[in-house]
Amino acid sequence: MNRIFFLLFCCISWLFAPIQWKANRTIELKKDEFYVIKLQANQAQKTLYFRWTLLKNEGLVVHLNYDSFPHQFVLYEDYQRNCYQINLWKAQERYYSQEPYFLLCFKDYKRVDKIATLNFYLYEGGRDFNIIDERKVPNGGFGTN
């Protein structure tokens, strides 16, 4: 009987375990300053970069480009609208797991310095990929890699 309870407890505690992030970073970006992340899974390399351009009505306008597909969205500091998620690759077919994704969250804005504080998270989702490069780029065109 004790074994059954122990196994049941182990299974239930595994379900409520916190997410294991592949990367969890806090960055500060000035207006139009880029942050570039290069990812690789097997032979496929993909580039993800983002910047913010405007703070209007307490919303931060963000431009994100992943795999040559542009996204534009507004992030707010309140908890319901402060994050944006984008799927990176399809999940592997061997078993059910959530797809790998990138999550960008707006944390703070320093009005005096005009610097936005952002958190980003990379979730592996059962797919093996590596972060090849990540860095800030002072200012550049959206088409540059």
Query: pLDDT tens for residues 36-64?
Result: 999 988 888 899 999 999 888 889 999 99
C-alpha pair distances (Å), 71 with each of 2, 52, 61, 142:
53, 12, 11, 11
* pLDDT of 143 over the 90 cut: no
Are 134 and 36 within 8 A, CB to CB?
yes
Q: In sequence order, what are the residues at sequence separation of 6 or more whose Cβ sits closer than 8 angstroms to the Cβ of residue 31?
A: 52, 53, 54, 114
Structure tokens at 88: 């990176």
* pLDDT of 15 over the 80 cut: no
* pLDDT of 34 over the 90 cut: yes
Q: In sequence order, what are the residues at sequence separation of 6 or more whose Cβ sits closer than 8 angstroms to the Cβ of residue 139?
A: 32, 33, 34
- Mean pLDDT in the chain? 82
pTM over 0.85: no
Q: Which residues pair with residue 23 across a beta bridge?
A: 122
Q: What is the pLDDT of residue 38?
A: 93
Q: Which of 73, 68, 65, 59 is nearest to 35 (CA)?
A: 65
Average pLDDT over residues 95-110: 85
